[in-house]
């Protein structure tokens, strides 16, 4: 019998109810007698007097049966109603245009023939070789929006930032004018640098004067890089930093000897082609190109990978200009840096941050040797490198030579062939680099309204609250460290959308007064390069209490700044298919919410490093980290090589923790608020949609050649965190010991 039926009144109780009316009319002593004070003699009753008692019992049985039927009917009716409302209907589908577009995106990128419990990466991201890089796709869509803005007709205030940005983009797209100018503008630049022996005359210009011109006027650094950044250590003041140069040719350490020799031959042929296009004598071109390659090869030998410098505790050194001059005397450091970072006032006692001192010593010795033997070759080497960097501003012959080299290098290094970079995309990128304040304001106005910003901030607040709640339940963290961690989260600044200055158009109009567009597109580019460098220096010289954004508002990379204790989520990231105020909440929490949680966990990387949390339960922490490493090792497919989990454990921990925190915040949201929706015509409950949206963010093809990628392979960024969440296996009905439902899970965050 149903438990509720046990609470129904008994037949005797029904009898009492029927007789209750008479008893209520008895005298004051009547009830006392009924409870046991009976008369002294028993009175016999006639058969007629017994009839009411028999009929009462029959009515009691009938009442009992009637109430039972009524109750069963109510239970059956409520069950049917419950099934119809909640079991049959479920959350209503979102059929707005943005949701239907998202549905099409998911259908196009996934592979429904793969069982979700066997490999969710392939289920959500599609077949190998056909996977869309979600971040690249979003980045391209943001650039397309900027293109539409730049190509839309409009009238701008004369001399304003808007007018100059539109003029620059238009001249960049005017390839007919660039073709008509030919090599004339480039030859004029070479003459201003003192000429070279490949073609024309060489005036034997001073090496350091030429180097200073290349660095300050053309933004080209042939032997090292110099830039302004905040100091790596507190108080993180702006400081000039000297680092290794960036080379077009892949480093020798990454290639087999045979392949590296083929790469050098292709690069040599490319340099010869550049010299020939500039009218050089074929014999001199071949000689200078070969010696230029020799210089590059020798510089390669002095380079050390970041991991090597880190293991040797040589990430950076702090030296004065005077001390660096003694250690690397071939470069006139004071004059070169003074020209590059005008209007800074430098002196020999100026402190610098040096990222690879051994490289600079060896580079200086190489330059000294070449100045004694092949001074003209050093000039040719610097000019050939400049021509490479200026290729997008030159005519089609130079651009085609560069495209062919890139394609051959991709084939030799077995990288996937990249499609030709459309002209409009390069023009959008350069316009954005030179006129960022203007384009930032136009982009935010077009794609990131106040409603989107409020929705994004609300999502971040819920993610942050979930993290604080989770910190209180960690088994390995001490009470003191837990309190410090909560304070760190509370004190964190968050920047969402764009910097404050984006909404101040008067700044954009004042910033570009020094840009002068020349008769050729190349001259316009060089004027923009010079202006941009001066603006960057000026921004560092001005005292500011605000964080300097490291990404443009239309960028897609969120980041955490250690020096400013601020986390940044640009407007370009908070776009479909990652985020939209009209999406089902499962999408926003699964995609953008997990990104936000992961960036928040970057605050606590130090706690996971050896000795980073002395007051914590070290044994429990190490057990959790070791468990996480084994968890990822077990997910590697047989065809994949082993992955050293110790090299990526920080990012793995952030991925797993970020997903768990986002799921906790989403589950709380479902309990507190109604009105969740899902995508139509899909077998995706809200929680299934949450997990699918998380995976969609991570979709991309693996790139073994990218040694800087600490997240590879991408399948682990999907399968690793999802298989660590018991709720995933529960909502997808994964059988025990399936790939996505392991028998053992780890609890780190």
- C-alpha–C-alpha distance, residues 105 and 109, integer Å: 6
Tokens 């101040």 map to which residue? Answer: 504
- Which residue in 370, 436, 462, 655 is the catalytic one? 655
CB 726 within 8 A of CB 736: no
| Angle value at C-alpha 301, between 245 and 195, nearest 5 degrees | 50
444 phi and psi angles, rounded to 5 deg:
-65, -40
Q: Which residues of 704-734 are buried (b: 16+ CB within 10 A; e: fewer)?
A: eeeeeeebbbbbbbbbbbbbbbeebbebbeb
Neighbours of 297 (CB within 10 A): 13
- C-alpha–C-alpha distance, residues 308 and 321, integer Å: 25
CB 252 within 8 A of CB 413: no
- C-alpha–C-alpha distance, residues 376 and 383, integer Å: 11
- C-alpha–C-alpha distance, residues 15 and 55, integer Å: 10
- Which residue in 370, 599, 629, 651 is the catalytic one? 599
Cα 208 to chain centroid distance, Å, stands at: 41
- Write the DSSP assignment of 212-275 as a string of letters: HHHHHHS---SS-EEEEEE-SSTT--EEEEEEPPP-SSPPGGGS-HHHHHHHHHHHHHHHHHHH
- C-alpha–C-alpha distance, residues 359 and 365, integer Å: 10
Question: DSSP character for 350?
Answer: -
Per DSSP, helices labelled H in 152-229 are 161-173, 175-181, 184-192, 207-217
Q: Which residues contact 439 (CB under 8 A, 6 or more apart)?
A: 146, 149, 150, 165, 431, 432, 552, 554
**Is 376 considered catalytic here?**
no
Cα 456 to chain centroid distance, Å, stands at: 15
**Is 655 considered catalytic here?**
yes
Over the Cα atoms of the chain, what is R_g? 37
Tokens 């459309």 map to which residue? Answer: 422
- C-alpha–C-alpha distance, residues 507 and 537, integer Å: 16
CB 224 within 8 A of CB 200: no
The residues assigned a catalytic role are 599, 655
């Amino acid at each position: 019998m149903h438990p509720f039926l046990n609470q129904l009144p008994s037949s005797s109780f029904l009898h009492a109810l029927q007789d209750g009316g008479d008893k209520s009319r008895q005298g004051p002593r009547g009830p006392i007698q009924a409870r046991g004070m009976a008369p002294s003699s028993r009175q016999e009753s006639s058969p007629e007097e017994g009839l009411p008692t028999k009929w009462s019992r029959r009515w009691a049985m009938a009442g009992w049966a009637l109430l039972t039927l009524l109750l069963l009917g109510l239970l059956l009716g409520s069950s049917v109603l419950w099934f119809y409302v909640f079991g049959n209907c479920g959350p209503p589908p979102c059929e707005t245009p943005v949701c239907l577009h998202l549905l099409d995106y998911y259908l196009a990128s996934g592979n429904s023939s793969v069982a979700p419990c066997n490999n969710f990466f392939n289920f959500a991201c599609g077949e190998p070789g056909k996977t869309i890089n979600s971040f690249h796709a979003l980045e391209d869509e943001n650039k397309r929006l900027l293109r539409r803005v730049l190509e839309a007709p409009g009238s701008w205030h004369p001399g304003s930032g808007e007018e100059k940005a539109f003029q620059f983009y238009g001249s960049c797209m005017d390839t007919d004018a660039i073709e008509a100018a030919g090599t004339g503008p480039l030859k004029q630049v070479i003459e201003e640098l003192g000429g070279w022996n490949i073609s024309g005359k060489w005036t034997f210009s001073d090496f350091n004067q030429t180097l200073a011109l290349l660095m300050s006027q053309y933004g080209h650094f042939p032997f090292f890089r110099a830039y302004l950044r905040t100091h790596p250590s507190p108080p993180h003041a702006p400081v000039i930093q000297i680092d290794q140069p960036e080379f077009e040719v892949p480093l020798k350490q990454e290639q087999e000897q045979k392949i590296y020799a083929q790469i050098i031959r292709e690069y040599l042929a490319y340099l010869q082609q550049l010299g020939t296009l500039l009218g050089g004598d074929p014999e001199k071109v071949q000689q200078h190109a070969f010696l230029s390659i020799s210089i590059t090869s020798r510089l390669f030998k002095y380079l050390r990978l970041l991991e090597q410098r880190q293991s040797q505790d040589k990430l950076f050194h702090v030296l004065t200009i005077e001390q660096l001059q003694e250690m690397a005397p071939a470069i006139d450091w004071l004059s070169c840096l003074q020209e590059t970072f005008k209007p800074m006032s430098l002196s020999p006692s100026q402190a610098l941050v040096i990222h690879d001192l051994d490289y600079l010593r060896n580079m200086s010795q190489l330059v000294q040797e070449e100045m004694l033997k092949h001074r003209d070759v050093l000039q040719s080497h610097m000019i050939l490198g400049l021509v490479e960097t200026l290729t997008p501003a030159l005519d089609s012959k130079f651009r085609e030579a560069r495209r062919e080299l890139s394609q051959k290098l991709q084939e030799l290094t077995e990288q996937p062939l990249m499609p030709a970079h459309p002209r409009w995309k390069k023009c959008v990128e350069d316009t954005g680099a030179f006129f960022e304040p203007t384009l930032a304001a136009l982009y935010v106005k077009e794609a990131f309204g106040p409603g989107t910003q409020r929705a994004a901030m609300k999502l971040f607040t819920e993610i942050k609250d979930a993290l604080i709640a989770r910190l209180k339940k960690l088994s390995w963290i001490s009470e003191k460290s837990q309190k410090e961690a909560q304070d760190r989260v509370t004190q964190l600044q968050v920047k969402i959308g764009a910097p404050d200055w984006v909404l101040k158009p008067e700044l954009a109009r004042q910033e570009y007064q020094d840009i002068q567009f020349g008769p050729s597109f190349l001259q316009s580019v060089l004027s923009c390069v010079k202006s941009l460098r001066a603006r960057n220096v000026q921004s560092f010289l001005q005292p500011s209490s605000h964080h300097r954004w490291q990404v443009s508002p239309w960028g897609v990379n969120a980041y955490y700044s250690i020096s400013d204790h601020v986390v940044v989520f640009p407007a370009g990231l908070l776009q479909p298919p990652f985020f939209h105020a009209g999406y089902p909440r499962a999408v926003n929490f699964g995609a953008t919410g997990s990104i936000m949680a992961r960036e928040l966990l970057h605050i606590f990387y130090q706690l996971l490093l050896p000795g980073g949390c002395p007051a914590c339960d070290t044994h429990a922490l190490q057990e959790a980290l070791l468990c996480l490493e084994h968890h990822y090792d077990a997910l590697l497919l047989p065809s994949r090589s082993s992955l050293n989990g110790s090299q990526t454990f920080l990012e793995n921990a952030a991925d797993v923790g970020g997903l768990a925190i986002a799921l906790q915040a989403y589950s709380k949201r479902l309990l507190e608020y109604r009105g969740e929706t899902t995508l139509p015509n899909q077998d995706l409950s809200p929680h299934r949609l949450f997990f699918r949206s998380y995976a969609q963010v991570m979709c991309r093809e693996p790139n073994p050649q990218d040694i800087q990628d600490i997240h590879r392979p991408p399948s682990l960024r999907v399968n690793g965190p999802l298989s660590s969440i018991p709720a995933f296996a529960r909502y997808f009905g994964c059988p025990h010991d399936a790939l996505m439902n392991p028998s053992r899970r780890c609890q780190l965050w």
